[in-house]
Amino acid sequence: MLYGLRESPRGPQEWVYRGLVDHGVALSAALTERIRRLTDYMEDISRGDADDRLATVEMANKALRAWADLWKASGFTVPVPDAAPADDGHLVFAWKRDEHYFEMEVFPDGACELFYDNRATGELWSAEYRVGETPPSEALSKLGLFS
């Protein structure tokens, strides 16, 4: 079961939606659909036998929590990311817009590596973060470029 399923039989989307309502955030139909697609994807890649799945349920939970931490800290302005499993069992979230690229790698132990690249100027930035901690303010500033 993914993050929040224990709290709601309707799945991780319900956890995200409930958190938004609690914070007075209005959900557009497009945002609702994007959240649904992300949480469905995370659930899909963590299903099946250990040999068949692309991520463990625990890893999917940590990744969703990491994204939710960033999203909440940004005042719910950071867009829903693209997601992909990595070869060694961790998950990667990515945001792309024009010359801007931001990536968050989430590892099984809850450690995260944050990376930003401005392809036009060559500016690079990176930092570490742990799921459940306050995200670095510079990360939120960089992610503001995608809002």
CA angle 72, 75, 78 (to 5 degrees): 80
pLDDT of residue 129: 94
pLDDT of residue 28: 78
DSSP string spanning 24-53?
T----HHHHHHHHHHHHHHHHHT-S-TTT-
Domain spans in the chain, listed from the N-terminal domain onward: 12-146
pLDDT along the chain (147 residues), means of 10: 39 54 70 86 83 84 89 89 89 96 95 97 97 94 92
pLDDT of residue 87: 81
User: Do residues 145 and 100 touch, judged by C-beta distance below 8 A?
Assistant: yes
